[in-house]
Amino acid sequence: MTNVNPKISLRGVKKAFGPKVVLDGIDLDVGVGESVVIIGGSGTGKSVMLKCILGLLHADQGSITVDGTEVVGANAQVQEQVNSKFGMLFQGAALFDSLPVWENVSFGLLAQKRVDRDEAKELAVAKLAQVGMGADVAELSPAELSGGMQKRVALARAIASDPEIIFFDEPTTGLDPIMADVINDLIVKITREVGATALSITHDMTSARKIANRIAMLYEGKIIWAGPTEDIDQSGNEYVDQFIYGKADGPIKMAVRA
């Protein structure tokens, strides 16, 4: 927590679905221009945490501030204004299947009336090129793309409006290793060169090491470890060790029976 004025700050954030407690007091800071990666087992609430910050889910308790503005319990106007700073890559891509690929990519820009339709299309093609896709896909419908291609279109959409803060929910899942590395480079470029703040979720430790300044691990509703990427191998935390080396034996017990 090196930053005095973090871009995003979570304090004691709790979220439960009925009796099921998912987030149980999250404390996390993301500094300006920093790239933080959240790791943690499947179903531990990583996606839920991002959605709480975006106001798509409402945190039950605690405080979430973005540039000092409180979003927990904020009214629609405040939330809208805060959200205009964000770009979000959804885990399941969430492309609009009624629109062609290029309109998906430039949707945010068109919505904010920052460009006209011709410019929007040019810009979409340029963004698609950044994620390794040719101009020929621009006219296709999302349903005509493979899963990995949809993910990349969604990535292009998330970065299209050059947001200050970008959330990547599993950006490299479903991509081949080479394309995954291209995407990693892209994320690094966006954060290091453009200066955007990034909060990513990934299970892919290669990707995490490459894109993160800092890594935080979520387990049983809490951040159990957070530190600079270089320190992850010497975290001294047996949960983290088990996770990053992907061992079935260890303190984290999977609810499976042989």
Partner 1 sequence: MNFLQPIGSVILHFLETVGRLIRFSVSAFSHTVRPPFYPRIIIRQMVDIGFYSLPVVGLTGVFAGMVLALQSYTGFARFSAEGAIANVVVLSITRELGPVLAGLMVAGRIGASLAAEIGTMRVTEQIDALTTLSTNPMKFLVAPRIIAGLITFPFLVLVADVIGVFGGYIVAVYKLGFNPSNYLQNTWDFLQAEDVNSGLVKAAVFGVIVTLMGCYHGYNSRGGAQGVGMATTNAVVSASIMILCFDYILTEMFFAGI
Ligand X SMILES: Nc1ncnc2c1ncn2[C@@H]1O[C@H](COP(=O)(O)OP(=O)(O)OP(=O)(O)O)[C@@H](O)[C@H]1O
**Which is closer to Mg ion, CB of 91 or CB of 242?**
91
Q: If contact means CB under 5 to 8 A according to the sort of partner, which of ligand X, partner 1, Mg ion, none does residue 71 touch? A: none
Instruction: Return the residue of 96, 139, 189, 230 that touches partner 1, per CB under 8 A.
Output: 96
Q: If contact means CB under 5 to 8 A according to the sort of partner, which of Mg ion, partner 1, ligand X, none does residue 159 touch? A: none
Q: 150-209: which residues touch partner 1 (CB under 8 A)?
A: 157, 161
Instruction: Return the residue of 63, 91, 130, 237 that touches Mg ion, per CB under 5 A.
Output: 91
The type of residue at 245 is: Y
**Which is closer to partner 1, CB of 161 or CB of 200?**
161
Q: Of 60, 7, 14, whose CA–CA distance to 29 is shortest?
A: 7
The total number of residues shown for the chain amounts to 258
131 near partner 1, judged by CB under 8 A:
no
223 vs 1: CA distance, rounded Å = 13
10 vs 53: CA distance, rounded Å = 8
Q: Could you please report the per-residue DSSP string of 30-65?
A: E-TT-EEEEE--TTSSHHHHHHHHTTSS--SEEEEE
Instruction: Return the residue of 36, 48, 149, 223 that touches ligand X, per CB under 6 A.
Output: 48
* Shortest Å, Cβ 76 to partner 1: 8
Instruction: Return the residue of 1, 111, 126, 129 that touches partner 1, per CB under 8 A.
Output: 111
Query: Which residue shows structure tokens 């935080």?
Result: 216
Q: Which is it for the CA torsion 243, 248, 254, 256, positive or negative?
A: positive
Instruction: Return the residue of 55, 64, 102, 244 that touches partner 1, per CB under 8 A.
Output: 55
Q: Of 147, 143, 145, 119, whose CA–CA distance to 134 is shortest?
A: 145
210 vs 30: CA distance, rounded Å = 17
CA-based radius of gyration for the chain:
18
Measured over all CA atoms, what is the biggest interatomic distance in the chain, rounded to whole angstroms? 58
Residues 87-126 as x/- pattern, contact with ligand X by CB under 6 A? ----x-----------------------------------
**Is 195:34 a contact under the CB 8 Å cutoff?**
no
* Shortest Å, Cβ 51 to partner 1: 7
Stretch that binds ligand X, among 36-44, 99-107, 175-183, 188-196 (CB under 6 A): 36-44
47 near Mg ion, judged by CB under 5 A:
yes
Residue 68 DSSP symbol: T
Q: If contact means CB under 5 to 8 A according to the sort of partner, which of ligand X, partner 1, Mg ion, none does residue 43 touch? A: ligand X
Token pair recorded at residue 146: 């493979």
94 near partner 1, judged by CB under 8 A:
yes
Which residues make up the interface to partner 1 (CB under 8 A)? 51, 54-56, 76, 80, 83-84, 86-88, 90, 92, 94-98, 107-108, 111-112, 157, 161
Q: Which residues bind Mg ion (CB under 5 A)?
A: 47, 91
